[in-house]
Amino acid sequence: MSLLAETPHTRFAASDFAPQPAESRGLERDEVRLLVGTPDGLAHVRFRDLPDHLHAGDVLVVNTSATVNAEVDATLDGEPVVLHVAHHLEDGDRVVELRSSPDAGRAILDRTSGDVVRVGDVRLVLRSPWPGEASSPTGAGNRLWQASVAGDLDRQLEWNGRPIAYGYLDRRYPLADYQTVFGTRPGSAEMASAGRPFTPALVTRLVTAGVQLAPVTLHTGVSSQEAGEAPGPEWFEVPPTSARTINGARENGGRVIAVGTTATRAVESSVLGRHVVASRGWTSRVVTPAQPPRVVDGLVTGWHDPMASHLLLVEAVAGERLTQAAYDAAVAEGYLWHEFGDSALLLRR
């Protein structure tokens, strides 16, 4: 994995994390808070108010990737470890990350090619660092591996696995809590969380108001990245109907608003000239202020950690000034961070 040459300009103190899903806090999913940021100023509303801040003819680009159980207990040299499992590669191998047992609290970086990991009756052999040597941004060891698999790893994950979770949650939650209303194609190691506050009723209100939806797919990898670490390659697809919807909206003055960094990456990986084209495959596109979006005008997003590489994408879409103002206001108003937290709608026009 590589380090990005750019670093975010947005500065803020780490805020409170959401320790549980909105439903466990007595809220409906679309009752989380929504900060709306535009060049005209900021507003604090609820997510279910989203239709009031979009126009007929705007298009929301949504990610149809569904979350899978991607964390499972394993052994390495007879010792317990936690295995995070991501992409299927074309040759049948998988992308994996080894983490400490029992809580996956830290990455294990000192393993070598040929090491064998066992998950029940499944045997994995670490073949090579992924996507290449020096896959640790610290410069010591490798975080992600390409592993050959003997046995049915997907069955083990289905039967004995669990969603990837981090230490700020108050307990573990079932896979259903990590799905979005748009998720129909299983394949993401971690939830495309910007879509989580949408509900069927809210989608109906948006469509009734003339807001279009453009489904794309991007299967996420593991996101336990170090500060400054670039996102790894991810598989994506932009279907022809969505490309036509996005191009048509732009030609008619509508705004293209991506629901999350994943949808942004997918659609910006599919731009040819001034148009979105249907495409599928692996993308290494990283949207930053130095490599800005060409199509996306706005973003529905959660709140990212200080120095996270996703902040560069937010700055690239919304601009540094609006991003800083939004984060300052979110910290001051006590918005909740991470996958079960509050949201923002940031529009540059």
Distance CA 93, CA 91 (A): 6
Question: Which long-range contacts link 40-49 to residues 24+ away (Cβ below 8 Å)?
Answer: 42/325, 42/326, 42/329, 44/329, 44/333, 47/197, 47/202, 47/343, 48/199, 48/202
**E runs forming strands in 69-157:** 71-76, 79-88, 94-100, 116-119, 122-129, 144-150
β-partners of residue 288 are 291
How remote is the C-alpha of 78 from its chain's centroid? 33
CA–CA distance, 185 with 208 (Å, rounded to integer)? 25
- What does the pLDDT read at residue 166? 84
CA gap 20, 14 in Å, rounded:
18
The pLDDT of residue 3 is above 60: no
Residue 15: which pLDDT band, with cuts at 50, 70 and 90?
Answer: confident
Report, as an integer, the average pLDDT of 238-257: 98
User: What pLDDT does residue 142 have?
Assistant: 86
Phi/psi for 345 (5° steps) reads: -115, 115
Residue 76, pLDDT above cutoff 50: yes
Tell me, what's the pLDDT at 309? 84
First to last CA, the chain: 34
Give the model's pLDDT for residue 195: 98
Condensed to tens digits (0 to 9), the pLDDT of residues 142-172 reads 889 999 999 999 999 999 999 999 888 999 9
Query: What pLDDT band is residue 63 in, cutting at 50, 70 and 90?
Result: very high
- pLDDT tens for each residue of 169-204: 999 999 999 999 999 999 999 999 999 999 999 999
